[in-house]
Structure 1
Amino acid sequence: MNELNYIDVFAGSGGFSEGFLRHGFNPVAHIEINKAACFTLRTRAAYHYLSAAQQIEIYRDYLKGKINRKELYSYIPEKIFDSVINAEIGKDNDRIFESIDRLAEGRKIDLIIGGPPCQAYSKVGRAPLKHKKDDPRTKLYIQYGRFLKKYQPDIFVFENVPGLLSVAGGTYFKNLKMYFRRLGYCLEAGIHNAFDYSVIQRRVRVIIVGWKKSIDFNYPDFPVSEKKFCRDDIFSDLPPVGINEKRRFIKYYNGSNEYLRRYGIRDDSGFVTQHITRSHNQRDLVIYRFAIEQFEQGILIRNDGIPDEMRTQKNVTDFLDRFKVVGPEPHTMIAHIAKDGHHYIHPDIRQLRSISVREAARIQSFPDNYFFEGVLEGEFLGPAFQQIGNAVPPLMAEKIANKIKKMLCLKTP
């Protein structure tokens, strides 16, 4: 069939979009407020362009630091980057719509994907993330709907946390359903665990799929992966590193394995980038050692169970699993990892650190050639961790994209 065009709203670093790109969808626009994430989207676009042009060595030179970002971008036609729109949805809608109209060049928008920031709906989080009254983020679905109203795609996919269905007694979800139905769409929601779709992470998300009332669609059945993998499948080939590791790239420590090959995590470059780590103070490292020792005995420590002489924080009522070792089936990656790594302690006591940027990216199923940018070159820790924590895992997105493509190919008005 003809090319399937989509818009990615609240695009982040592009994890959701990556899954659809892998199934041949054409991105007309990515809209994202965060400037660093927009650089990541542009760099990923450069990767796809150079890969298709059989000039991947240029991209690898950038990963190794042989050329800078400006030089990398100089090899890419400007129109490739035009699809990345750095703007605030809601505040800048007129400018966004004008840009999309120009980029679409009269082509039909078949699909809209994206998920508004989820913290306002989340039931899990640290004390500062507790819900505040009248949080404007709870109504960002209205802005999503404005894209549906203008571009009238046949189908949309909306990702968020399960709390969307139940927070405030389910009021937000009820309002969302009524609003989208007024716009002419049927919709259903399903709760899915990324672990069932080859992502090595227990990450539960709600996936809302909506379609025009005039089209005979049903909520898709996403087939789960039969074979399960674990943390060691994504950690075992990465070289041991200590705290404050800042090398631009590093050679793999071990050969590849079934998981890394099957899902394209590793390529044939022979090196990995952004296997970099943050600094830690000695008091936190004492707690890390204690947490790992307890973990090896099958005990998950709670903040109120840390010995008084060791504890660094007085609060023993909120977020009791503040210090947490990454287990064989890693727990949910959240954006707070940008602030500290206490919730993601590496299980190897000999390394005694929190996980690296690349390890976090692998937990989220990003391939090793996915490079996370900062606003400034060399600013790779905080911005990278934030983008990774907020992302839709590409492997989960790929499974969704596969079913959505089949639905659109079989569309019967």
Structure 2
Amino acid sequence: MAGLTLADRAASDLSKPRIRPVDPDDMRPVSVSARLGRLQFHDSGKFRVLVLADIQDGPKVNKDTIKLIEAALDSSRPDIVIFSGNQIAGYDQAYAKTFRKRTWTPQKWPMGAAATSQRDTELEHTRELVRQEISQFLSPLIERRIPWAVTYGNHDFQCGLSCAELDEIYREFPGCLNPEPPIKRSDRPRKQPGSGLPDQYIYPCEAGTFLLPVSEDRKSDSVLGLVVFNSGDYGKLGGYGAPSQRALDFLKVAPSLIGAKSMVFQHIPVPQYYDLLKEVPATAAHAVEGYRTFAGHNYVIDENKTLPGSFLGEGISCPDTDTGEFDILKSGDGYFALLAGHDHRNRFVGTTDGLTLVATPTCGFGSYGPAPAQRAARLLEFDIRHPYEPRTQLLEFGDLVGKASSGKAYTYALNGTPDAAKEGTNLLRRPRLLAQILRKMHLKK
């Protein structure tokens, strides 16, 4: 397909993992970059990023999620793993006592010394529950000594902890590349103790937003930048919000800090993802209605703009108004791609205005999404000969692991977790009936 810069030129690339599992007797870090001490292209000329989107679970992470993470790590042997937000289902009933629906609404606590003590006790309990969850999905990475980075979505903070507080907890674990935010300037790089990359420089901005330069083989010159970006959470007028002004300002200068083009990894997609779709009548096959601003319009994947295997499973949930982020990315020559999660059922790659946009489905089994076999991690493989045209493929649960261990119906807008935030929309109140309908629909396909 002409014009795409993120090239998966054969449909078969989207099916099976291309890399053999790690030798169990090899005790070196699985990450080649961890062996080298910094994010760096290998002697082979390759560099790999594995993206895990929307784990979105409570304190006890679904065991199938862990199985997928383990299998994806062993199949791809990435240099770094990036978690693209909504690791924590902050609305989970376990966090009900410290739950916060929106960042700007204060938590309601009784007044007085006794109430303050109770609040501190409850928040510390939440911190411990968050640590328990994080330790579960990070354990496969820590065992394999793979460095990692996280950004945040619209549910992480709802447990009652700010992104900055969550950042502090993540930094307690080996391999974390999230830096402490700077007091003033973001153009001064720092190193992150405990990351497993002693020679890696990081340009910090704020919790969930920072820049990771990737070096050329055996040289200190940066060839590529990975911008981990906090895309915000909710808008005060409804829908989804915008990145902070500080984050947007950082986005404007990040590529110039390292002298190389960059790719952005964030949670919420920008409205321009709709440019990869074409509008169709509501009665058209596979038509999906748009979200909020785009409601009343129905869409399918535009095959002339997207790669083979692209799939639209739900309306793109983006901010109601353009935040200006896309204009920053396409202006100048600093960026080549943007990856987002958030929409658990969407899985497509395409190019608009010279910028490649990537939608990545959920890897988690704790909330809604596609069929269990299609929960996936996304692998990006960069080549030093054309570092801004990485290959990408989805590493699916069905291919890597097989059949899910639970008989639960993982369907859109339905899950078995009590929803303290009332964020979900249960369109059918009879899950068994819905499961029967879905089975019949599947048999007709």
- Asked if Structure 1 and Structure 2 have the same fold, meaning a TM-score greater than 0.5 normalized by the shorter chain, the answer is no
Q: TM-score range by the shorter chain?
A: 0.3 to 0.5
TM-score (norm 2): 0.32
TM-score (norm 1): 0.33
Greater fraction of residues in helix: 1
Greater fraction of residues in strand: 2
